[in-house]
Amino acid sequence: MLSRTVQKNLFKRSNAVSSVRFISAFSEIPLAPPDKILGIAEAYNKDSNPQKINLGVGAYRDDTGRPIIFPSVKKAEEKLLTAETEKEYTGIIGNKNFQNIIKNFIFNNSGKDVNGEKLIKDGRIVSSQTISGTGSLRVIADFLNRFYNTKHILVPKPTWANHIAVFNDAGITSEFYSYYDTSVNGLDFENLKSSLQNAQEGSIVLLHACCHNPTGMDLTAEQWDEVLAIVQEKSFYPLVDMAYQGFASGDPYKDISLIRRLNELVVAGNIPSYALCQSFAKNMGLYGERTGSISIVTESQEASTRIESQLKKLIRPMYSSPPIHGSKIVEQIFADESLFQSWLSDLNSVVGRLNSIRTKFYEKLDKTNYNWEHLNKQRGMFVYTGLTKEQVIELREKYSVYATEDGRFSISGINESNVDYLADAVNKVIAK
Ligand code: LMR
């Protein structure tokens, strides 16, 4: 409903053809708050303290604090530069080669998942290139809103700060299921199960494949089995978000056990369909190239044909077709075994640095008044410190340490030169 003043202004404008007087159509728009994650960088950039530290966004930095281009990606780009002959549009859902890479790499574990292989052979996977992970989430959210009967999603508490906004903007209401217990800094598994058991039947359920964002705390294989039993019992629709494939173990193939288990359940006829959102933003460092995908595992080849046609119908008026530079890099890397192996080793060394700086940070923290053990159990780009909002604000205001207010630290911002300063600041804030 437009407010009275806005209605009046619009009316005045349409009747003011002769007496031209500019009246802003947007005079009543309230100021929006900065983004909870991306807004951190804006504040950090304005800070003149030379010791400032940015622990906000989940984007990799090397030990000198700089972003990197993976050497394998650089080589792929060099090859592209000489081989590329056109910049034509790709298809609405990307090209077949990219889609097949996604299917074979993730669902078939490059030839090692018999169930995934069967799903591909039976034409039961529809893949579409998307505008990175957020784009894939938005596409699947719009798709589910259009075609799935329950417009309700269960998300872990806590979850990535942008998840709820993506779903809500697409008309899907969200509700938390228990995930993490901040009083003990650990997984809240019993409540996780009971909250799912008590949730509305047939809901969509969001599952983080690995390196849960923001907590970095993942389920074990046995715990996933228990959760998937509830998913079946309650006829939930699983929507898997996998933004950090490879960051849990250093090996992208080892981090897809949830996908393998879901494939098995689908082939056995216990789960009819599920969807996966993924991106190469983190594990190939293709952040700004916006390269990701959505895949829907369907009930039949015939369903796949219909679903694919609807994905095209949905994407075309939204952004027409995805960007091509990032997807071409991915294609180059997967087309060349030696480049592919270099990529695996680049990824492994990125994860190695994160793990060693995590350990170093842990070692420097004062354990007399605070149990920091949870840091050693968390995986991926983040530590979920357990610091309160007030403590995070104090870190920012007194020490120029910038992190999200939920106490998440992106550890890629920590390095040999600032780890002492950071640990010291955290110790002082905790000791107060
Ligand atoms: C993050 O959680 O920091 C990343 O996924 C980046 C983003 O877009 O929020």
In whole angstroms, give the CA distance from residue 139 to residue 133.
10
In whole angstroms, give the CA distance from residue 137 to residue 170.
10
pLDDT of res. 6: 46
Within 8 A by CB and 6+ apart from 45, the residues are: none
In whole angstroms, give the CA distance from residue 243 to residue 227.
20
Q: Is the CB of 57 under 6 A from ligand 1?
A: yes
Report how far ligand 1's centroid is from the alpha carbon of 215 (Å): 13
Class of domain 36-70+340-430: alpha beta
Cis peptide before 238 (omega within 30 of 0): no
Tokens of 11: 């009316």
pLDDT of res. 24: 82
Q: Of these residues, 160, 224, 343, 372, which one is catalytic?
A: 160
In whole angstroms, give the CA distance from residue 417 to residue 432.
25
320 pLDDT above the threshold of 50 = yes
Provide mean pLDDT across the span 40-59: 95
Tens of pLDDT along 147-202?
Answer: 999 999 999 999 999 999 999 999 999 999 999 999 999 999 999 999 999 999 99
Share of the chain above pLDDT 90, in %: 92
Return the DSSP state at 94: -
Q: Of these residues, 113, 188, 218, 241, which one is catalytic?
A: 241
Within 8 A by CB and 6+ apart from 295, the residues are: 102, 103, 106, 107, 125, 126, 127, 128, 275, 276, 278
Within 8 A by CB and 6+ apart from 317, the residues are: none
157 given a catalytic annotation: no
Domain(s) of CATH 3.90.1150.10: residues in the chain: 36-70+340-430
CB neighbours of residue 355 within 10 Å: 15
Burial class (CB within 10 angstroms; exposed 0-12, middle 13-18, buried 19+) of 251: middle
The mean pLDDT of the chain is: 94
Domain(s) of CATH 3.40.640.10: residues in the chain: 89-335
pLDDT confidence bin for 27, thresholds 50/70/90: confident
Do 418 and 65 contact (CB within 8 A), yes or no?
yes
Q: Is the CB of 411 under 6 A from ligand 1?
A: no
pLDDT of res. 112: 87
H or E element, residue 208: strand 204-208
Q: Is the CB of 407 under 6 A from ligand 1?
A: no
pLDDT of res. 284: 98
Query: What sign results for the dihedral spanned by CA atoms 308, 313, 316, 318?
Result: negative
H or E element, residue 82: helix 71-83
| DSSP string across 272-341 | --EEEEEESTTTS--GGG-EEEEEEE-S-HHHHHHHHHHHHHHHHHHHSS--SHHHHHHHHHHH-HHHHH
pLDDT confidence bin for 111, thresholds 50/70/90: confident
Which of 10-24, 114-128, 360-374 has the lowest average pLDDT? 10-24
Which of 1-15, 33-47, 289-303 has the lowest average pLDDT? 1-15
Q: Is the CB of 213 under 6 A from ligand 1?
A: yes
Tokens of 118: 């069967």
Cis peptide before 34 (omega within 30 of 0): no
Backbone angles phi, psi at 150, to 5 degrees: -105, 120
pLDDT confidence bin for 19, thresholds 50/70/90: low
Provide mean pLDDT across the span 8-32: 66
Burial class (CB within 10 angstroms; exposed 0-12, middle 13-18, buried 19+) of 205: buried
Name the residue at shortest CA distance from atom 2 of ligand 1.
58
Domain 89-335 has CATH 3.40.640.10: yes
Burial class (CB within 10 angstroms; exposed 0-12, middle 13-18, buried 19+) of 234: middle
420 given a catalytic annotation: no
Tens of pLDDT along 243-269?
Answer: 999 999 999 999 999 999 999 999 999
372 given a catalytic annotation: no
Tens of pLDDT along 207-244?
Answer: 999 999 999 999 999 999 999 999 999 999 999 999 99
pLDDT of res. 16: 45
Per DSSP, the three-state class of 7 is helix
Return the DSSP state at 194: H
Provide mean pLDDT across the span 357-364: 97
Provide mean pLDDT across the span 15-24: 59
14 pLDDT above the threshold of 90 = no
Provide mean pLDDT across the span 137-148: 98
pLDDT of res. 363: 97
Report how far ligand 1's centroid is from the alpha carbon of 153 (Å): 20
Report how far ligand 1's centroid is from the alpha carbon of 217 (Å): 16
Q: What is the dihedral of CA 115, 117, 119, 122, to 10 degrees?
A: -130
8 pLDDT above the threshold of 70 = no
Provide mean pLDDT across the span 326-330: 98
Q: Is the CB of 160 under 6 A from ligand 1?
A: yes
pLDDT of res. 1: 44
Report how far ligand 1's centroid is from the alpha carbon of 73 (Å): 21
Report how far ligand 1's centroid is from the alpha carbon of 280 (Å): 13
Q: Is the CB of 247 under 6 A from ligand 1?
A: no
pLDDT of res. 22: 66
